[in-house]
Structure 1
Amino acid sequence: MEGIIVLLICIILILLIYIFLFKREILRISKQLSKINNLEKGKKVNVVFINKEVEILGESINDSIDTLNKLREEEKIRNEELKEMIENISHDLRTPLTSILGYVQIIKKNQVMDLEHLNKVEEKAKELKEMLSQFFMLSIINNVNYKIDLKEVYIKEILFNEVISYYDQFKSVGIEPKINLNLKNKTILGDENSLKRVISNLINNSIKHGKKELEINLYEDANYIILNIINDLKEDVEVDKIFDRFYKGKDKSRSGKNTGLGLPIAKGLIKKMNGDITAYKEEKRLKIEIVWTKI
C-alpha cells in the first residue's frame, strides 16, 4: 500500500513539474511574441520545451511571423512607390500648369488677346488633359475589379486605321514606317477602344524615343497572332524597366510631354484582354511584341 502511495506521489510530482514547465514555456513564448510585436526584426519564436504540440505551435507562430514580415515589406515597398508616384505626378502636372500661368500673365500684362499665346495656352491645356487622362487610365486598369468586355475584333483593320491616323505625324518627324500586315481577316478577343489606345501608345513611344526607322509587323503562326513594333533607339534603355510606371529611359530629365505611363498602360490593357506583351533589345533596336492566342 505504501508503495502505491509513493508511486502516486511521484506521478503527481512529475505531472506538476510538467505543468510548471509547460506554463513556463507558454509564458516564454508569449514574451517572445510581445517583443516580435514591437517590431523587433529578425526575431522568431524559439521552442526549448520538448513537446510535440508546443513545437507545432512554435512552427505555426513562426510561419505567421514570416507571413507578417513579408506583408510589412510589401507595404513598405507600396508606400515608397506611392510616394514616388505622387512626386512624379506632381512634377509632371506642374510643368504644363506653370506654362499656362506664364502665358496668362503675358496676356494680362499686354492686355491683348494675342493669338499666338492663346494657342500656346491651348496646347499646354491639351497636354495637361492628356496627362490627367493617362493617370486616370492607369489607376483604372490597376484595379482588380476593372474588367474589359471582350469581343471578337479584327485586329488588322484596327491596326491599319490607327497607323494611317499618324500619317501627318510620321511625315513631320521624317519617319517612313515599314508596314507588313501578313494576316488575313482573323479576329482576336479584345476591345476596340482599348486596342486603339495600346497601338497609339506604342506608336507614340516609337516616335518619341526612336529614330527614323520604324517597322510594324502583324502576322500569325500555328497558334498565335503576333504584332510587333520595332524602332531604332535614340538612347539606350533598360528593357527590364520599360513597362515600369514613370520610366523614361536613361535620360532622367523631367521636361517634355512624356509621362512614362504609355507602355505601363499598354501592358495593363493587354493583360486585361488576355494577351501577352514583352520587350526585347537587339543591339540598338527595340522590339515590343504582343501575342494573342488564336480563337
Structure 2
Amino acid sequence: MIYIVIISVLAALIILIRFYFLKKEIQRITQQLNQLNKKATSKKIDLTFYDKDLENLAKKINEQIDLTNQATVEKRRTKIELKQAIANISHDIRTPMTSILGYIQLLESEEISPEKKMEYLVIIKSGALRLKVLLEDFFELSVIESTDYPMKIENIKLNKLLFDVLIGFYEEFKHAQIEPSINIPKEEIFIMADSSAVKRVIENLISNAIKHSSGNITIHLDKSLSTVQLTIMNPAQQLNEKDLILLFDRFYKADQTRTRKGAGLGLFIAKSLMVKMNGNLSAELKGNQLLMKCEWKD
C-alpha cells in the first residue's frame, strides 16, 4: 500500500513539475510575442522546454511570422513601386502636354507663316494622340487590376483570331519595312479563353515587336499534346538578361531614352490578361533574339 502512495505522489509531482515548466515556457513564448509585436526584435519563437504540442504551436507561430514578414516586404515593395509609377505617369503625361502647350503658344503668334502653322498643328496632333494612348493605357491598367474584371471564357478558334489581328497590322509592318515570317497551321486550333483579351495580348506583343525590332519578326502558332503555344520573336540587341527579368514590370522600359507612344504598360497588361485566363506569358533571349511565348493548356 505504501508503494502505491509513493508512486502516486511521484506521479503527481512529475505532473506538477511538467505543468510548471509548461507554464513557464508559455510565459516565455508570450514575452517573445510581445517583443515581436513591439518590433523590438524580429527573432522567431524558440523553445527551452520541449513538448510535442508546444513545438507544433511554435512552428505554426513561426510560419505566421514568416507570412507577416513577407507581407511587410511586399507592402514596402508595392509602396516604392507606387511612388515610381506615379513619377513615371507624371513624366509621361507632362512631356506631351508641355509640347502641346508650347506649340499652341507659337500658333498664337501672328508672325508665323501658314506653312509653319500647319507644321505645328501636325506636331500638336501627334502629341495629343500620344497623350490619348497614355491615358487609355492607364485606364485599362486600373480596370484589369480590379478583382471584378469581366472575363468571358469560351472556346475560340485561335487560328482565325490571330489571322484577323495580323491583317490589322499590315500598314504598320509596311511602314516599318518589316516582312513577318508567319507560320499558322491549317488545322483548326481551339483554346478556352476570352477572345477580346487574347486579341489585346497579341496586339500588344506584335506592337512591342514592331517598335523594338531591328529586323524581321517571326510569328509561330503550334499545338502540342498538352498546350497551345504562340511565339513572337524579333531581334533585340539592346536587351540583356537583367532587362528580361523586369520586362513585364509596370512602366519598365529597357531603353529609357527612346521616345515611346505608350508608357511601357503593354507587356504588363498582356501578362496580366494571360494570368486572368489561366494562361502564361514568358520571355527568353535566344542569342540576340527576344522570344515571347503565350501558352494555353489544351
Q: TM-score under structure 1 normalisation?
A: 0.82
Deviation at 1:143, TM superposition (A): 3.1
Give how far 1:49 is off. Answer: 4.8
Counterpart position of 2:129: 126
Contact 2:133–2:262 (CA under 8 A) maintained in structure 1: no
SS of the residue aligned with 2:72? helix
Correspondence for 1:274: 278
Matches within 5 A, 1:83-94: 83-94=83-94
Aligned with 1:241 (options 239, 242, 246): 246
Cα distance in 2 for partners of 1:254, 1:175 equals 20
Aligned to 2:158: 155
CA–CA distance in structure 2, aligned partners of residues 52 and 228 of structure 1: 53
Q: 1:109 to 1:12 in 2, by over 3 A?
A: farther
Provide the rounded CA distance (Å) in 1 between the counterparts of 2:159 and 2:66: 50
In the TM superposition, what whole-angstrom CA distance separates every residue of 1:129-177 from its partner, at most 9, and x where no partner exists? Answer: 2112212222332334324101222222222222122222222221111
1:184 alignment counterpart: 187
Structure 1 equivalent of residue 65 of structure 2: 65
1:3 — aligned with what?
Answer: none
Which residue number in structure 1 is paired with residue 219 of structure 2?
Answer: 216
Which residue of the partner structure matches residue 80 of structure 2? 80
Report the 3-state secondary structure (helix = DSSP H, G, I; strand = E; otherwise coil) of the residue aligned with 2:234. Answer: strand
Q: CA deviation at 1:277?
A: 2.1
CA shift in 2, pair 1:247/1:29, >3 Å = same
Alpha-carbon distance in 2 for matches of 1:282, 1:40: 49
Residue 110 of structure 1 and its aligned partner are, at CA, apart by 4.1
**Aligned residue identity for 2:79:** N
- CA drift of 1:209 comes to 1.0
1:287 is aligned to 291
2:146 matches 1:143: yes
One-letter amino acid matched to 1:245: R
Moved more, 282-291 or 136-145: 136-145
**What TM-score results when the alignment is normalised by the length of structure 2?**
0.82
- What is the identity percentage for the equivalent residue pairs of Structure 1 and Structure 2? 38
1-structure distance, mates of 2:9, 2:200: 84
Partner of 2:43: 43
SS at match of 1:212: coil
Structure 1 unpaired stretches of 5+: 1-7
For residues 81-110 of structure 1, the C-alpha deviation after alignment (integer angstroms, 9 at most, x for no partner) is 222222222222221122122122222344
Alpha-carbon spacing, 1:10–1:219, altered in 2? closer, same or farther (3 Å) = closer
Q: What residue is the counterpart of 2:174 in the other structure?
A: 171
Pair 11,158 (structure 1): closer, same or farther in 2 beyond 3 Å: closer
Q: Distance in 1 between matches of 2:170 and 2:15?
A: 89
> 1:205 and 1:49 mapped to 2: Cα distance?
61
Equivalent pairs, count: 292
Partner of 1:247, secondary structure, is coil
User: Residue type matched to 1:220 in 2?
Assistant: K
Q: Distance in 2 between matches of 1:264 and 1:290?
A: 13
Pair 1:256-2:260 in alignment: yes
